[in-house]
A and B are shown apart, each in its own frame.
Chain A
C-alpha cells in the first residue's frame, strides 16, 4: 500500500473509526483489523462517488446478510451530517446524540441502532419495578434474578425445582453419531493410510513396510430445536429452556428456536454459559410468551427462512410442542411434511402424552403425527432421562409410530 494515510489526513480516518465504533455498538463484529482494512479500502476505491463509498465500507464491515439493514441505516444517519465530528463529540459526552439526530431527520431509526448511537445508560437499577413486567411469584422466588420463576412447573416446590434444574444441567442428549467422509489415524482397523505407512517405512530405510491404518470419523449431527412457548405449554417451557441450554452448551452445531404466534431464533442467547443470563436474554427477546400458538404459520416461516440454513449436513430436529394449534392445523400438514423431508430425523416431544389414553383428537396433533419419526413424552425429569437413552440407540430400530396407550 502507498503512504496514503498521511495524505488523506487524520480526520477522515477518524470518522471511519467513529463510524466503525457506532457499528460495533450496534452489534456488528467490527474489530481494529476491520477498521484498518476499511481505511485502506476507502483509500483504494476513492471517495468520488457516494455509492462507491457505501459499497466499499459495506464490503469490509458487513459479513452476513442480516447485518445489512443495520449498516444501511447507520451509514445514512452517520454520513449525512456535515457537522459529523462535532456530533460525535457530543455522543461521547453525556448529552444525547440521538436527540440531535432525531431533530435533523424524522426518519425512523431502528431500536438497535439508536441504542448504539445513544450514550450508554447507567446500569439499570435492579430494584426498578418497571423494568420487569413479568409477575414474580414471591413464594417461589429464590432470588431476584429468577425472572421467569412464575413460568415453572406448578406442582413443584422451589427446592424441588432447584434440584430439577441441577439435574437438567448435567443432562446429555447422545443422539447417535453419524459417519462423516473424513478419516483419521487408527491404530488397528480401517483402510491403509499410505502416507503414514510410507513414512513409517522410511524410518527403517525402506526395508520393511509396517502398515498404518485410518478409519472414518464419526461426529454428532447438527441439532435443531423448535420449542413451543405458548400458553398451553407454560408449565413446561421454563424447564425445557434449561434443558435446551444444557444441550446447547454440551455440543456444537445446535440451533434453538422458540415459537408461539411467531418464530424467534434464540441460538445466540442460549450459548451464554450462565443459564440465568441466557434465560434473561431470551425473555427479553421473545415477545409472545404464553400467548396463542400458530404452529402451521411458524413452521412455514422456519421452512422458508431457516431450514436451508440450519438443516444442512443431516440435522436432527426436535419439535417440542403439545400440538394444540390456534389455527386448527390449517396448512400444518404440508409444512410438517416439508420439515420432515428436510432433516435426517424428526423427533416430536409432547408433554401431553403422559396422560393415560391420550388420543390425537386435536387437528394439530393429527396433522403433525404422520410426519414424525419418533413421538415421545417430555413432562418430568425421568422422561428427559429416558429420552437420552432412546435417542442414543441407532435410529432404524425406532421408526415406529408409538401406540397411544402410554
Chain B
C-alpha cells in the first residue's frame, strides 16, 4: 500500500485537522475503526454538517481516488454498477457474421467480455488503479429506493459484484466506503448492520468557531464570534423548521465578509438572512425584533467575557 493508513485515533484527528476538517473525538474514533476493520461507515445527520466533506478529506489526505455515487430515486444497476456497450456489441455481431469467423458459442462469450463492459462508480470502486483502494462515497442513500439498497448489500459485505453474463468481480483490496444519509427515510437495518454507524451532530460553539477560522482565515475574529453565537442561538429556537448547518454559517461568514461588515447589527441580519435560513416562514419569524433581541444578548455575552 503506497499510502499507509493512520495507526492511532490521534493520528486520524491530526490528519483531519491538517485538511482543515475539525472533527470531535467520536468521529475520529469511528473513522479509525472503519479504516482498520475495513467496514463501511454510515454517517447520518442533518443537511450541511459536513458528512460528504469527510469522504473528500479522507481521499485527499490518504492520496486515494474519490469515487462518488450520488443517489436518486430509480437509480438502477445500469447507471450505478455497469452497463453493456450495446452499440459495440451489435457491430461485433455484424462483423462476425460478415467475416463468418466466429462460431455461435465463442461469439456469446466474446460479446459479454470485459471489452464491452462500461464500468459505473460501484464497479470502478472495486478496482485498484495503483495508489491503494479508492474512497467510495455513496451520497444521500435515503434518496434512492429500497431495491437499490438491497443491491448494495452484496457490495458492502463482500466487496464484490456479480454480473450474470460475466461472473463475479471481487475487490483485491476493499475500498473505503462512506455512506451518507439525511434521514428522509429510515435505511433498512440489514444495510446498517454491515456498517459502523455515526450520527454527525451540529458542532458546539467552540468547534464551530474553529471551523470558521480554519476555513475562512480572512474573516474578522469578532464577527465570526458573533456569527457563531447567533447561529447557535438559532439552533436552540424551537420554532424554526430547518436549522442552519455549518455550511450555512460558512456561507454567511463569506457573505458578510464580502459585504465588508465588521459587526452584526439587525439591519445587516435582515438583509442577509436568506443565506442562513432557507424557508420563508423561518425568515419571517427571525427577521426584525427577534434578530435584534438575539444580537443584543450576544453582545452582552461577549462584553462580559
Binding site for B on A (CB under 8 A): 29, 31, 33-34, 40-41, 44-45, 51-52, 54-56, 58-60, 62-65, 68, 180-183, 194-195, 198-199, 201-202, 205-207, 303-304, 308-310, 312-313, 334, 338
Report B138-175 CB contacts with A as 1/0, cut-off 8 Å.
Answer: 00001101010000000000000000010000000000
Instruction: Say whether A55 contacts B104, CB under 8 Å.
Output: no
CB pair A45 B108 closer than 8 Å: no
A184 to B78, CA, bound (A): 13
Q: Report the bound CA distance from A313 to B146 in whole Å.
A: 11
Q: Does B193 contact A (CB under 8 A)?
A: yes
Q: Could you tell me the distance between the alpha carbons of A71 and B165 in the complex, rounded to whole angstroms?
A: 46
Q: Is the CB of B74 within 8 A of A182?
A: yes
Tell me, yes or no, whether B281 is within 8 Å of chain A by CB. Answer: yes
The interface bits of chain B over 164-199 (1 if a CB of A lies within 8 angstroms of the residue's CB, else 0) are 010000000000000000111110010011011111
Which residue of A has the minimal Cβ distance to B116? Answer: A198
Kindly supply a per-residue 1/0 record for chain B positions 60-99, scoring 1 wherever the CB is within 8 Å of any chain A CB and 0 otherwise: 0000000000000110101000001010011001101100
A65-B44, A304-B241, A313-B145 known; A59 vs B198 contact (CB < 8 Å) = yes
Chain B stretch 248-298: residues in CB contact (< 8 A) with chain A? 281
Instruction: Indicate whether B302 reaches chain A with its CB closer than 8 angstroms.
Output: no
Which of these, B9, B73, B183, B199, contacts A308 with CB under 8 Å?
Answer: B183
**From residue B26, how far is it (CB to closest CB) to chain A in Å?**
4
A-B residue pairs in contact (CB < 8 Å), sample of 13 = A31-B193, A41-B37, A44-B33, A45-B36, A52-B29, A56-B30, A56-B33, A59-B30, A62-B199, A65-B183, A194-B86, A202-B111, A334-B281
Given contacts A56-B33, A194-B86, contact A62 B74 (CB under 8 A): no
Is B247 close to A, CB under 8 A? no
Q: Within 8 Å CB of A304, what residues of B?
A: 241
Write the nearest CB–CB distance from A332 to chain B, whole angstroms.
14
Question: Which one of A195, A309, A310 has the highest number of Cβ atoms from chain B below 10 Å of its Cβ?
Answer: A195
Contacting residues, chain A, for B147 (C-beta < 8 A): 182
B241 touches A59 (CB 8 A): no
Contact call B186/A205, Cβ cutoff below 8 A: no
Q: Give the residues in chain A near B221, CB-CB below 8 Å.
A: none
Nearest-neighbour CB distance to chain B for A47, whole angstroms, equals 12
With A45-B32, A65-B199, A180-B145 in contact, do A205 and B104 touch (Cβ < 8 Å)?
A: yes
Task: Give the complex CA separation of A201 and B96 in angstroms.
Answer: 13
B25 CB–A CB distance under 8 Å: yes
Q: Which residue of chain A has the shortest Cβ distance to B109 in the bound complex?
A: A202
Look across to chain B and name the residue whose beta carbon is closest to the beta carbon of A42. Answer: B33
In the complex, given contacts A52-B25, A181-B73, A206-B93, what are 13 additional A-B residue pairs having Cβ atoms less than 8 angstroms apart?
A41-B37, A41-B196, A51-B26, A52-B29, A55-B29, A56-B33, A195-B84, A199-B165, A202-B104, A206-B94, A308-B183, A309-B186, A312-B184
Most buried by B among A41, A54, A207, A310: A41
A201 to B189, CA, bound (A): 41
Known contacts A59-B197, A63-B197, A309-B186: does B93 contact A201 (CB below 8 Å)? yes
Decide: A206 and B96 in contact? CB cutoff 8 A.
yes
In the assembled complex, the Cα of A68 lies from the Cα of B94 at a distance in Å of 61
Q: Are B25 and A34 in contact (CB under 8 A)?
A: no
State whether B183 touches A59 (Cβ < 8 A).
Answer: no
Within 8 A of A (CB), among B22-62: 25-26, 29-30, 32-34, 36-37, 42, 44
* B29 and A56 contact, CB distance less than 8 A: yes
A182 touches B76 (CB 8 A): yes
B30, B84, B96, most chain A CB atoms within 10 A: B30
CB-CB < 8 A to A182: which residues of B? 74, 76, 145, 147
Which B residues are in CB contact (< 8 Å) with A183? 76
Contacts of A195 in B (CB 8 A): 78, 84, 86
Alpha-carbon distance between A40 and B26 when the two chains are bound, in angstroms: 18
CB-CB nearest in chain A for B47: A308
The residue of chain A having its C-beta at the shortest distance from the C-beta of B182 within the complex is A308
**Residues of A contacting B96 in the complex (Cβ-Cβ under 8 angstroms):** 206
Taking a contact as CB atoms closer than 8 A, the residue among B26, B108, B143, B193 that contacts A55 in the complex is B26
Q: Mark B107-129, 1 if CB is under 8 A from A, else 0.
A: 11001000000000000000000
